[in-house]
Structure 1
Amino acid sequence: MTPHARERMLQRRISESLILDLIETGEIRKKDEVRLWIFKSYNDRNDNLLCVAVVVEAYLVVKTVMHHFELEQ
């Protein structure tokens, strides 16, 4: 997880366990061969959709954490 992603987690009150659940159970949308968005709605939050922007390298790198996410058409 990048420092930027950790900062966004703190600002948006998103725990590491919630990020792990999002990564494990969220919907995946590819941007290109190495970049993806993983997103999911959580009923107990009023800032849906939650989303992580990730890069797939030798391991998964969480670049940022977003809320009020909207999919591009």
Structure 2
Amino acid sequence: MYSHRFKVDIYITRHARERMASRNITESELLELIERGTVKYKDATRFWIAMHVESRQDNLLSIAAVLEDKLVVKTVMHHFEWEDK
């Protein structure tokens, strides 16, 4: 899988794949989230991306990721809410 937005390959950890399966999140939904979601950075390489998916009833879908030589999806969440800072 490749991100045109970040111009790198995407690596999905085993943990993230397990969370995708348990939350019925498809690879196409994940890719749409990466390409079109709202990004909030924790620091230069770590961030979250979240997006409401109209066809789902579980609030925002979100990923926690690291961007280095590839985009590493560490986990996938649903019922996500942004923290106020």
What TM-score range do you get, normalising by the shorter chain? Answer: over 0.9
Calculate the TM-score normalised by the size of structure 1: 0.97
Matching residue within 60, 64, 68 for 2:75: 64
Choose from 52, 59, 74 the match for 1:41. Answer: 52
* C-alpha distance after superposition, 1:29-69 (max 9, x if no partner): 00111101011001111111000100011010000000010
Amino acid of the structure 2 residue aligned with 1:56: L
Gaps of 5+ in 2: 1-11
Match of 1:52 in 2: 63
1:2 aligns with 2:13: yes
SS of equivalent to 1:67: strand
Identity %: 56
Higher strand share: 2
Structure 1: runs of 5+ lacking an equivalent? none
TM-score (norm 2): 0.84
Give the total of aligned pairs: 73
Query: Which 4+ residue blocks in structure 1 deviate beyond 6 angstroms?
Result: none
Alignment RMSD (CA, Å)? 0.6
